[in-house]
Amino acid sequence: MARRGGSRRWLDEHFSDPYVKAAQRQGLRSRAVFKLEEIDRRDQLLKPGQCVVDLGAAPGGWSEYAAERVGHRGRVVAMDLLAMPAIAGVDFIQGDFSTDEGLEQLDQRLGGEAVDWVLSDMAPNLSGQKAVDQPRSMLLAELALDFCHQRLKPGGGLLVKVFQGQGFDALLASMRGRFDRVQSRKPDASRGRSREVYLLARGFQA
């Protein structure tokens, strides 16, 4: 009964969420795009002509936004385990970037081009058990950080979703060891009770 009640509360919250309603009105793929938009406007991440990799891209809101920002002179390469309807200006690969095969697919598609930004809004399939979900979420963030090695251009950046809890401080220390500056962002579109935050890292030390 508690689980059904929790699901009901989530549905009520979801469908009354102003960002969900705004995404529906604007024909956007998800409310998550407002998180990236707010961070981008505040911190001036994306610029025309840049090369962006979007990890865990489905349903595609971040990829679509990034493609608009980098324009026809830039490129967006996106990957997800799930299928994703085509987006103009986005080169999508259905695969698992955490595997050697997935990395090889991404590297082939990039063709040796250095990346300006790695974006990751990934989260694991949540079980509701913090002891299980937290390590899974931290692993995804660590894999996104590892992906930057030998792919991100000097001075490039990483924006990654993480959940505060066990492993957070260690990840933050690892990021500070590879980037000149790491900041935490909690956009308005991120639900207040959620433990999610976004770590924004700039100035990659190649």
Q: Determine the residue type at 11.
A: L
80 is in an annotated binding site: yes
Per the CB < 8 A criterion, the answer to whether 189 and 35 are in contact is: yes
Q: Determine the residue type at 77.
A: V
User: Which one from 21, 153, 161, 186 is the annotated catalytic residue?
Assistant: 161
- 161: annotated active-site residue: yes
60 is in an annotated binding site: yes
62 is in an annotated binding site: yes
96 is in an annotated binding site: yes
Per the CB < 8 A criterion, the answer to whether 171 and 162 are in contact is: yes
Q: Which residues are catalytic?
A: 161
As annotated, the binding site for S-adenosyl-L-methionine includes 60, 62, 80, 96, 121
As annotated, the binding site includes 60, 62, 80, 96, 121
